[in-house]
Amino acid sequence: MRFWPRTLGVQLIIVTAAAVLLSNMAVAAWFQLGNDRMTESDQNERVIDRVGAMSTLLAAIPAKEREGAAEAMSSGPWHYRLTHEKAVQLAMSEDESRLAQKLREMLPDSKKKQPISVKFVVARPPDDGRARMRRFMGAAVELTVPVVRGTELVATYYRPPAPPWPVEILIAACMAIVVASAAAAYISRRVVTPLMALASSASAAARGGTATRVPEEGPDDVRNAAIAFNAMTDRVTRTLESQRQLLSAVGHDLRTPITAMRINLEFIKDEELRERLLTNLEELQDLTESVLSAARGTGGESKRTIDLSSLVESLCADLDDLGEPVTWRAHGPAPLACRPDEIRRAVRNLVENAVAYGHRADVELRETPESYDILVEDAGPGIPDADRQRVFEPFVRLESSRNADTGGTGLGLTLVKAIAQGHGGAVTLENREEGGLRARLSLPREAVAA
């Protein structure tokens, strides 16, 4: 199946053409076989008639002239010779016996009791120097009948080769293949076009974009699938929009009491108590913002083309200005259609994690024909293989390998994963051989305007 086409339309055309070709070949072979059988039956009847008439004719010719007459009558696929040996009844098959009986019925009563034989043989006609005789070779029928007492006629009929298939059959088969292939192409287009639109819309939705409505056309099965898909996307869109509105309202309602509590803390005279409550309040506010960001995921920002290299470089420069141990390896322009605020948030989370738990962050951008890869490496203890996927779950923090005093909500990597998947990419973690952790944020390259 290595060379089998993968598209439905081409497969349908090939299968239809092959089915039509095989069916035409089967029908042509069936009719050809039937025609060969009818031709063979007619030939046998003519052979019997001619041999019976030849026997009667030679019996009426004087004995001295019979040899010459038999030789003179030998022409084309026919060959006659006379024998004067004692006639012996040969063993014959069922078909041979049937023809011998018909030949016996054609002879006069005086010859019916004498031995008559019919044999199907494979032989070559005698070479008489004529080129047209060379094609008569292979199947033959040999008949032995009495002429007069003591003289038998041995007649050999060399069957001509079977005629080739009529050209009309081949032309009809080719026309049937062309017509059937055109019909298959028409049907496949009616099926494949809506399916391609559905796949494109579903792929756009999977990358975090807006799923366009699929044309509700084509056969009933495909049209019903398009209707169901459109209904599903409408429902998902309404649900996500309601969720965003609800989260915005919740975020606004949470910020208001947090702000009021922060103001009220200023009236607490106990310095130690005020600092402790203020720390708890800041943790609550950070947790609220992180939960809201993770819950929103992606989709709230429109895509636009940016220079990914410049975005990451500016982020690293800002963190370096704040005194964070962040290094950036220079890279050329990297145009990418994305939601830049989300990408900036995802890269910032990876860099801050590397600084907090791995003591430093070395950032670089690599590119492949298919994607841009943002690599963030640290010098920390790494992550055990068993926990490398679990850290992407909400509120998961690996206390055994991460410093618990650094804080954090356990939602940073969850948000990074949501942003990467929203752009059709992925985020992976791997331990470096020289020590430390390497985080890889892969973003697929998309066509951008020049």
H or E element that contains 8 = helix 8-60
Distance in angstroms (rounded) separating the CA atoms of residues 443 and 207: 11
Spell out a b/e string for 336-350, using b for 16 or more CB atoms within 10 Å of the CB, else e. Answer: bbbbbebbbbbbbbb
- Report field, pTM of the whole predicted structure over 0.75: no
The total of other beta-carbon atoms located within 10 Å of residue 380's CB is 22
CB contact at 8 A, 262 and 278: yes
Locate the DSSP E strands across 168-253: none
Distance in angstroms (rounded) separating the CA atoms of residues 239 and 234: 9
Which phi and psi angles does 203 have, rounded to 5°?
-65, -40
Q: Return the DSSP state at 373.
A: E
Q: Which two tokens stand for residue 341?
A: 């605020």
Spell out a b/e string for 233-244, using b for 16 or more CB atoms within 10 Å of the CB, else e. Answer: beeeeeeeeeee
pLDDT at site 448: 46
Residues in CB range of 65: below 8 A, 6 or more apart: none
Distance in angstroms (rounded) separating the CA atoms of residues 119 and 89: 12
Q: In DSSP terms, which residues pair with 444 in a beta bridge?
A: 371
Q: Is 324 exposed, middle or buried (0-12, 13-18, 19+ CB in 10 A)?
A: middle
Q: Return the DSSP state at 34.
A: H
Q: Return the DSSP state at 386.
A: G
CB contact at 8 A, 448 and 336: yes
Angstrom distances, CA of residue 377 to CA of 66, 152, 351: 113, 108, 8
Closest by alpha carbon to 427, among 437, 436, 416? 416
pLDDT at site 398: 65
CB contact at 8 A, 375 and 440: yes
Q: Which two tokens stand for residue 316?
A: 């690293």
Q: Is 414 exposed, middle or buried (0-12, 13-18, 19+ CB in 10 A)?
A: buried
pLDDT at site 399: 54
Q: Which two tokens stand for residue 84?
A: 């004067």
Q: In DSSP terms, which residues pair with 361 in a beta bridge?
A: 326
pLDDT tens by residue, the chain, 450 residues: 567 777 777 888 888 888 888 887 777 777 667 666 666 777 778 888 888 888 888 888 888 888 888 888 888 788 888 888 776 677 888 888 888 888 888 888 777 778 888 887 776 666 554 444 445 456 788 888 888 888 888 888 887 766 666 677 778 778 888 888 888 888 888 888 888 888 888 877 766 556 778 888 878 888 888 888 888 888 887 876 776 677 667 666 777 788 888 888 888 888 888 888 888 788 777 767 666 665 555 555 678 899 999 999 999 999 998 889 999 999 999 999 988 888 998 999 899 989 988 889 999 999 998 899 999 999 988 888 888 788 877 667 665 444 445 555 567 788 888 888 888 888 999 998 888 899 999 999 874 443
User: Are β-strands 151-158 and 138-148 bridged in parallel, bridged antiparallel, or unpaired?
Assistant: antiparallel
Q: In DSSP terms, which residues pair with 148 in a beta bridge?
A: 151
CB contact at 8 A, 303 and 210: no
Q: Which two tokens stand for residue 34?
A: 């039937």
Q: Report DSSP letters for 203-216, one per residue.
A: HHHHTTSPPPPPP-
Q: Report DSSP letters for 332-353, one per residue.
A: ---EEEE-HHHHHHHHHHHHHH
Q: Report DSSP letters for 276-299, one per residue.
A: HHHHHHHHHHHHHHHHHHHHH-S-
User: Are β-strands 304-307 and 117-123 bridged in parallel, bridged antiparallel, or unpaired?
Assistant: unpaired
The total of other beta-carbon atoms located within 10 Å of residue 198's CB is 19
Residue with tokens 């963030």: 376
